[in-house]
Amino acid sequence: MSPAARIEAAGLGASYGAGAVALRDVSFAAEGGQAVAVLGPNGGGKTTLFRALLGELATVAGTFSIEGAIAYVPQTERSRLDFPVSALDVALMGAYARTSWYRRVTAADRALARAALEQVGLGERAHERFGALSGGQRQRVLIARALVQDAGVLLLDEPFAGVDQTSEDAIMGILDALRAEGRVLLIATHDVEQARGWDRVLCLRGEQIAYGEPSSTLTNAVLEATYGAEIVMLDCGHRAVAIQHHDHAH
C-alpha cells in the first residue's frame, strides 16, 4: 500500500449541477490508521460527500486533498448479481485503471487479486459467481477490489447494510486490519452505536453538523441536529437509534 494515506477537506461544498448545493461547509482531516464514521439521514449528504471526494461531482466551495489512492466500496445491493463474473473477476476490476485497453490484466495483478481475496477470507471462493455469494461475502469481495486498487483511502458506503451478524463481525475484523495497515477509512453508516467504536465521527445533514472524537461528538444535541425527528433515544438517553427509510437518492 502507498504510505502516508491522508484525507483533508476544508469548507467543502458540492452540487449536482445547476441546482441547489447538496452539501456545504464540510471540514475534516483523517490520518492513516483512522476510521471515520460518516453519519446522517438519507439525503443528508453522505453519498454526495463521497462522490465529491471521488471527483464525480463538482465542488462549489472549499478544497480537499487526498494523499494515497482512493477507492469506493459501494453497497453490495447496488451491484448486478446476475452478471457473469466471479469473485476473482470483481477483485480484478481494481486493476483496470492501470491496465491499458490493449493489454490483458497482468499475472502480478491476478496474484494481487487472489491475495486480496485471501485477506478478506474468501481465497477459497475466488472462482464462485459473485451473485451466488452471501451479502456479507459480496461486501468482502468489494473490499478486496479496493485493496487491488492499492487504496490508501477507502470510502465505504454502508458496508454493514443487509448483512447478518456473522458477516458484520467478519467485515469489522477486516476493517480493523485495514486500519492497522495505515489506511484511512470513511464509513457511511446509520448505526450510531457502531460509530462510537471508530476514531472520528462526521455528522452531516446537508452541511456539517459536527466532527470529532465519538465521545465529544455523539451527544444528544448533535444527534438531534443530525437526524431531527428520525432519532429515537433509548436507555435514558445513552443509546441512540436512527430510524431510516432506505431511499438512496443522495
Partner 1 sequence: MRWLTDPLSAPYMQRALVAALLLSLAGGLLGVWIVLRRLAFFAHAVGSATFPGLVVAAPLGIAPPLAALAAGLGFAGLLSRLTRNGATGSDAATGLLLAGALALGSVLASDVYRSGVGVDRLLFGTLLGLGDADLWLAAAVALAAAAATAALARTWLATGFDPAGARALGVSAARGDWLLLVLLAASVVAMLPAVGALLVSALLVIPAATARLLTKSLGALLALSVALAAAESVCGLLLSYHFDLPPGPAIAVVAGGCFALAALVSAAPGRHAARVAA
Interface residues with partner 1 (CB under 8 A) are 54, 56, 70-74, 78-80, 83-85, 89-90, 93-94, 96-99, 101-102, 128-129, 132, 142, 145, 149, 155, 157
For partner 1, the closer CB: 140 or 210:
140
CB of 142 to partner 1, least distance (A): 8
For partner 1, the closer CB: 54 or 111:
54
DSSP state of 86: B
CB of 11 to partner 1, least distance (A): 24
For partner 1, the closer CB: 50 or 160:
50
What Rg, from alpha-carbon coordinates, does the chain have? 18
**Which residue blocks in the chain are alpha helix, DSSP H?**
46-53, 87-92, 107-119, 135-148, 165-180, 192-195, 214-217, 220-227
Cα→Cα distances 140→19, 125, 160, 213, Å: 36, 11, 10, 27
For partner 1, the closer CB: 56 or 213:
56
Q: How far apart are CA 36 and CA 139, in angstroms?
A: 19
Q: Is 82 helix (H, G, I), strand (E, B) or coil?
A: coil
CB of 5 to partner 1, least distance (A): 16
For partner 1, the closer CB: 144 or 210:
144
CB of 205 to partner 1, least distance (A): 22
Q: How far apart are CA 213 and CA 53, in angstroms?
A: 21
CB of 201 to partner 1, least distance (A): 23
Q: Is 21 helix (H, G, I), strand (E, B) or coil?
A: strand
